[in-house]
Chains A and B, each alone.
Chain A
């Protein structure tokens, strides 16, 4: 099912938190909404779920306007931060919660409904790999298992869209990647349309089909992960989705000139003239001071991160940049060096 958000303005009485958000999510697509805390990403999710009423704008699910619809009638699946499992129900009954009609209506349901609900719970347990834990209580589960139950519970009633609200943020970093992998795999297997809220750029880039960058209640850019990383629209997005040095530069046609010398310009929409060059650590090279190419400079700081050496160096007459070097290279603070760019350079307007 598709999700379409148009011109959403929302807030809590005072200044709006969201200033006109437009976002479309296609069938089976996983879109990550990436933003710092306070950017309004949780409010956006609550608007989509129907838990928060927007001041303006519309939400369409599968083509139908659901803006005024109560959350229980929208058919959205919600996976909150720490899972928020029903502490008084077993894993199986948590998953089946959305399949059981509320109150006395459950007594009137046709004979087949009970069996089909049970089959669906089985199916979901299998999907998230928890068949043997069906009768556990939530407090007997590990953090990762709780997330998976929460996902299974959200998916069981076949929602039109699944909303994930930073579901992995409270997990340890090692566990996080594993749980993320399991959850996203299950989500993909179910073929669901999904929106993932996160403040973790690696998470956003690695699991989603498209990333929407939210800043101060406005969407700065929505693009596929690779495009977003290589061709950010603004300086803020450039810094937000990855490590980058922003060097003052002059652009003219397909050429761009920085303190590190001339380079080929990556095609883009930024007008010629005074711009900022976005230089990722892996786009920069560092060589011995007596090398033939590049701008002379001084090494300021060296960080060893295992598979690489991150060297912070200051080119003479320019601001410091971070360079990704071979892990075996012997750089020390204070060394003289030469710095240059490798490959086309992307530029953004000066903010």
Chain B
């Protein structure tokens, strides 16, 4: 059921492409432009993934294994970029250097925005990693760093790769940043095709190629993950004592983390404020700003609830019953994230017009679009949370007189809910930043902070965009901070 809902956009794509003449589709598919776009997108995804993996693993190592002053602060700083939309970062880059464009700046922006997807799971995995093998490696003659890299780091690799997949999917489907930095990626082309002509077949074909790329990414990650053994399931977890780096080393680590955090977190507001100052102050439309913030919160909150409701059955299945069908359902649910917001948006416009006309341009459709788009985050979180509940505990509950359903509520859900809630928060943070689907599906007259911002930047009035951007940052930081707190407190308890 969930998979069926999640695949509505894809099915619509097939219907669109199937409805067009074969010649036209073939012509669109093989033309040089498709190849250029594919190469552009592939290069972008490869660069961003590699960047995120490296930066994320280094950051995770520093967070989990090195003694830093104020450790909690660095966790928060490492997670907060989740709240910063990539188009805001692009905007900051443009504000500093108006001529910046192309691959270089775009990769920088996306790596900074996406690294937390790798850092957080990798750091969590490193914190609970089994250090026995590392000790053994040390006694077998490896140096500290070599033993860590060869033995312990691979234990965190499955988590890091899952995070990298999220980063890659984000990159593939991101629209705002490539558009602002003028890099011809697939999403950009899809939107250009939708807007630029009445022939939507071109856009649909382009989007379908994009979906194929997504599937490729998901499969690649599966294969990579299978090569590394799964995390062991011992219950006793020893807290690893953090390493002292010495004065110079600590300074270097703190300095590095600070620069990354400052560029990501302080860059956009600094650039925005500089804009406001240069424009000599702006008249803020407070009423509009507050109502936009309110609808942003409501819509993303509802999306989080819906996504969790849809994700729980899939996540539980994926955690408990590994099998071909379940894997397929899970992969299918991942498609949402690879499909650009524009595609999901427009397909749902058509879908709601054709099937449920009453819902067209209502919050219901927009919330559903968010849920489909960000389902993978909720499923991933649910799966790992449920995997942490040992099956024996459920079996004991069964023998003590609870049915399977009662056991789920009394035991599994009770132990897994922090993880599931984390997934919901992730969905909420991401939905707040979502731009293209919101632009297409929002109810008439309703603005979110993101659309408010876009409306201003599209007409190049960067100064006027600044208040909305600042508000978006503030609103989005709240769940991100909660997310970090939930994550750290959970680890300290276990």
Please tell me the number of chain A residues within 8 Å of chain B, measured between CB atoms: 31
Q: Which residues of B contact A80 (CB under 8 A)?
A: 392, 395-396
Tell me, in angstroms, the Cα distance from A200 to B372 when the chains sit together.
53
Distance (Å) between the CB of A147 and the closest chain B CB? 13
B409 touching A72 by the CB < 8 A rule?
no
Whether B138 sits at the interface, judged by CB under 8 Å, is no
Closest to A82 in B: B235
Say yes or no: is A296 at the interface (Cβ < 8 Å to chain B).
no
Shortest beta-carbon distance from B189 to chain A in Å: 48
Which residues of chain A are near B409, meaning CB under 8 Å? 102-103
| Interface residue from A49, A87, A103 paired with B399 (Cβ < 8 Å) | A49
Q: Which of A78, A84, A85, A102 contacts B406 (CB 8 A)?
A: A102
Which of chain B's residues 390-410 have a Cβ closer than 8 Å to chain A?
390, 392-393, 395-403, 406-407, 409-410
Q: Does B494 lie at the interface of the complex (its beta carbon under 8 Å from any beta carbon of A)?
A: yes
**What's the least CB distance linking A176 to chain B, in Å?**
16
In the bound complex, residues from chain A placing their C-beta under 8 Å from that of B411 are: 86
Distance in angstroms between the alpha carbons of A154 and B410 in the assembled complex: 17
A97 touches B400 (CB 8 A): yes
Q: Chain B: interface secondary structure?
A: helix
A310-B397 Cα distance, complex, nearest whole Å: 47
User: Is residue B327 within 8 Å, beta carbon to beta carbon, of the partner chain?
Assistant: no
Q: Could you tell me which residues of chain B, from 375 to 431, have a CB within 8 Å of some CB in chain A? A: 390, 392-393, 395-403, 406-407, 409-411, 414-415
Report the separation of the CA atoms of residues A49 and B413 in the bound assembly, to the nearest whole angstrom. Answer: 23
**Contact: B393 with A86, CB < 8 Å?**
yes
Report yes or no: B399 in contact with A76, Cβ–Cβ below 8 A. yes
Give A130 to B395 CA distance when docked, in angstroms.
24
Q: A84-B393, A85-B393, A103-B409 are in contact. Are A78 and B235 (CB under 8 A)?
A: no
A84-B415 contact in complex given A157-B400, A157-B401, C-beta closer than 8 Å: no
Chain A residues, CB < 8 A from B398: 49-51, 70-72
Give the residue of A98, A103, A139 whose beta carbon is less than 8 angstroms from that of B400: A98
- Specify which of B390, B395, B402, B493 is in contact with A78 (CB 8 Å cutoff): B395
Interface residues of A in 72-113 (CB under 8 A from B): 72-78, 80-82, 84-88, 97-98, 102-103
CB-based contact A153/B393 at 8 Å: no
Question: How distant is the Cα of A75 from the Cα of B398 in the complex, in angstroms?
Answer: 10
- In the complex, which residues 452-494 of chain B have their Cβ closer than 8 Å to any Cβ of chain A? 493-494
B144 to chain A, nearest CB (A): 30
Contacts A102-B410, A103-B409, A139-B494 given; indicate if A84 touches B401 (C-beta within 8 A).
no
A103 adjacent to B406 (CB under 8 Å): yes
A97, B403: Cα distance in complex, Å:
13
Chain B interface size, as a band, is: 20 to 34
Contacting pair A71 B393 (CB below 8 A): no
Q: What B residues does A85 contact at CB under 8 A?
A: 393
Across the interface, which residues of B come within 8 angstroms of A154, CB to CB?
Answer: 396, 399-400
Whether A98 and B395, one on each chain, are in contact in the complex, defined by CB atoms closer than 8 angstroms, is no
Q: How many angstroms from the CA of A85 to the CA of B493 in the assembled complex?
A: 16
- Whether A78 contacts B410 by the Cβ 8 Å rule is no
How far is B415's CA from A156's CA once the two chains are assembled, in angstroms? 23
Residues of B within 8 A of A75 (CB): 401
CB nearest neighbor in A for B388: A87
- CB-based contact B390/A84 at 8 Å: yes
Distance, CA A307 to CA B406, complexed state (A): 54
Complex Cα distance, B399 from A73, in Å, reads 8
Which B residues lie within 8 Å of A76 (CB)? 399
| Contact flag A102-B395 (CB < 8 Å), given A84-B390, A86-B411 | no
Q: Are B396 and A72 in contact (CB under 8 A)?
A: no
Are B406 and A98 in contact, with the CB atoms below 8 A?
Answer: no
Do A71 and B494 touch (CB < 8 A)?
no
State the Cβ distance, B209 to closest chain A Cβ, in Å.
Answer: 40
Complex-state Cα separation, A87 to B494, whole angstroms? 10
CB distance from A44 to the nearest CB of B (A): 15
Closest to A51 in B: B395
Most chain B CB atoms below 10 A, which of A87, A139, A150: A87
In contact, A153 and B396 (Cβ under 8 angstroms): yes
In the assembled complex, the Cα of A160 lies from the Cα of B170 at a distance in Å of 56
- Assuming A87-B415, A102-B406, is B399 touching A72 (CB within 8 A)? yes
Question: Which residues does chain B contribute within 8 Å of A78, judged by CB atoms?
Answer: 395-396, 399
Residues facing B in A22-77 (CB within 8 A) are 49-51, 70-77
Interface residues of B in 107-161 (CB under 8 A from A): none
Q: Establish whether residues A153 and B494, one from each chain, have CB atoms under 8 Å apart when the complex forms.
A: no
- Please state if B392 and A81 are interface contacts (CB–CB under 8 Å): yes
Q: Which residues of B contact A103 (CB under 8 A)?
A: 406, 409
Q: Is the CB of B403 within 8 A of A72?
A: yes
Contact A74 B399 (CB under 8 A): yes
A97 lies within 8 A of B397 (CB):
yes
Q: Is there contact, CB below 8 Å, between A102 and B403? A: yes
Report the minimal beta-carbon distance from B409 to chain A, rounded to whole angstroms: 7
Chain B residues whose C-beta falls within 8 Å of the C-beta of A153 in the assembled complex: 396, 400
Q: B415 near A102 (CB under 8 angstroms)?
A: no
Cα separation A178 to B493 with both chains bound (whole Å): 29
In-complex Cβ contact of B401 among A82, A98, A150 (8 A):
A98
> Is B395's CB under 8 angstroms from A72's CB?
no
Question: In whole angstroms, how far apart are the Cα atoms of A41 and B401 in the complex?
Answer: 23
A183-216 Cβ-contact flags toward B at 8 Å (1 or 0) = 0000000000000000000000000000000000
Complex interface: chain A residues within 8 A of B415 (CB): 86-88
CB-CB under 8 A from B400, the residues of chain A are 72, 77, 97-98, 153-154, 157
A71 to B399, CA, bound (A): 5
Candidate in B400, B407, B414 with the most chain A CB atoms within 10 angstroms? B400
A254 and B453 CA atoms in complex are apart in Å by 101
How long is the Cα–Cα vector from A50 to B393 in the complex, in angstroms? 15
Shortest CB-to-CB span from B323 to chain A, Å, is 12
| Sample (23) of A-B pairs whose CB atoms are under 8 Å apart | A49-B395, A50-B398, A71-B395, A71-B398, A71-B399, A72-B399, A72-B403, A72-B406, A74-B399, A78-B396, A78-B399, A80-B396, A82-B392, A84-B396, A86-B393, A97-B397, A97-B400, A98-B401, A103-B409, A153-B396, A154-B396, A154-B399, A159-B399
Could you list 14 further interchain pairs (A-B, Cβ under 8 angstroms) beyond the known A72-B403, A157-B401?
A72-B401, A73-B401, A77-B400, A78-B399, A81-B392, A82-B235, A84-B392, A87-B393, A98-B400, A102-B401, A150-B396, A153-B400, A154-B400, A163-B399
A-B complex: 8 closest residue pairs judged by Cβ atoms: A98-B400, A102-B406, A84-B392, A71-B398, A80-B392, A78-B399, A84-B393, A72-B401
